Amino acid sequence: MRKKNSKDLNRLSRISLIFTILLVVLIGVVLITSFFKKNVKYETFETFSLGTYVQLRISTKSNATIIAREIFQELNRITKKFDPYNPESIIYKLNNSNGWLEVDDETFAVVDLSLQYAKITNGSFDPTLGRLVKLWGFDKFAEKENKTFKVPARVEIDKVLKKCGYEKVEMDYKNRRIKTNGVWLDLGGIVKGYALERAYQIAKEADQECTGFIEAGGDIRILGPKFGRDYWIIGIRNPRGSDSIDYIYLKSGAVATSGDYERFFVVNGKRYHHILDISTGYPATSAISATVIADDAIKADAFSTAAFVLGKNKWLYTRTIMPKNNADVFLVTDELKYLKTDGFVYYENTY
């Protein structure tokens, strides 16, 4: 009887010892995670670059201020370098070149990539519309805010269209040279994406584990999940209001929106905006906004412009080629109807 009692007591104290240890471990884990949770702090930096408002939200064990400064410098460098209206810029030089022009690695790569997107999208994204953009008055739009815009005459449009078209540009892969053959490059539909991708690289070089996002005029590049584990919730703007018409959840990748509501003028009640369709020479008309989610910001930017131009009329083409290239699309048509690629729903939920 006594023997049994002491055995029971032993077992009891062993069990309570195990419980105490477990409790201590549990409290420890809770304390440690809450400590680290508190340490995941986000810092926000803002600037005006790429012709738009830029916001960086970053959490890093490295120095966030230094990263922000480096990124903003890079955005300003890219803005200048790819501005077709700055006589110092390489794009200006290309647009005013006769014959072959040797360029630096970066220029060659960005122009080449933009031409590839033109090919994939069958010219709905076309980086050689510089002359058409100027004819419509969308060059240096912000500076012209008070000027009166007019719709160009058909003959003028047709004349300019003869000097547009991505097939006209020749690339010399051996000598890193470009021959524009009279077209004017305008990389406005891809440069924001390129700049966001550079920002991502700079942040990751400084701290592989940094998280957050960078946004430039509605285009977003995710640096990493919120607090290292949660989704960032991104609203898709109502193109005819200031509310959101949908929400997407992202932990990585990029999203870009092209719309007819950013840069436009109105003549006789008709809206003329800055995204032009080379097949007509006019602003594209069968969509009012196109949002693209992709693995990188360059693709999202180029595809959002392309999806906008393809619009409702060529939706079948969009929903065929874009998912094949790992991109999903949400289109708002001119009749305010929503069209989505099959994979888009994946981003409308958390898993």
Q: Which of 301, 306, 307, 321 binds Mg ion (CB under 5 A)?
A: 301
Taking CB within 5 to 8 Å according to partner kind, which of Mg ion, ligand ADP, none is near residue 232?
Answer: none
Q: What are phi and psi of 247, to 5 degrees?
A: -130, 140
Task: By CB under 6 A, tell whether 188 contacts ligand ADP.
Answer: yes
Q: Which of 59, 60, 291, 305 binds Mg ion (CB under 5 A)?
A: 305
Is the CB of residue 260 less than 8 Å from the CB of residue 271?
yes
Task: By CB under 6 A, tell whether 309 contacts ligand ADP.
Answer: yes
Instruction: State the alpha helices, DSSP H only, in 82-144.
Output: 90-95, 105-120, 130-136
Number of Cβ within 10 Å of residue 80's Cβ equals 12
Is the CB of residue 304 less than 8 Å from the CB of residue 290?
yes
List strands edge to edge, sheet with 43-49.
43-49, 52-59, 211-216, 219-224, 254-259, 287-294, 327-333, 338-340
Nearest C-alpha neighbor of 209 from the set 223, 199, 230: 223
Stretch that binds ligand ADP, among 126-134, 173-181, 246-254, 332-340 (CB under 6 A): 126-134
Minimum Å distance from CB 327 to ligand ADP?
Answer: 14
Q: What distance in Å separates the CA atoms of residue 202 and residue 68, rounded to the nearest whole number? A: 9
Q: Which is nearer to ligand ADP, 224 or 253 (CB)?
A: 253
How many helices (H) and strands (E) would you count in the chain? 9, 17
Q: What distance in Å separates the CA atoms of residue 180 and residue 174, rounded to the nearest whole number? A: 17
Minimum Å distance from CB 147 to ligand ADP?
Answer: 16
Q: Which of 126, 197, 207, 328 binds ligand ADP (CB under 6 A)?
A: 126
Task: By CB under 6 A, tell whether 305 contacts ligand ADP.
Answer: yes
Q: How many residues bind Mg ion (CB under 5 A)?
A: 5
Task: By CB under 5 A, tell whether 189 contacts Mg ion.
Answer: yes
- Residues at the site binding ligand ADP, with contacts judged by CB under 6 A: 125-127, 129, 133, 138, 186, 188-189, 192, 217, 258, 262, 274-276, 301, 304-305, 309
- Residues at the site binding Mg ion, with contacts judged by CB under 5 A: 189, 258, 301, 304-305
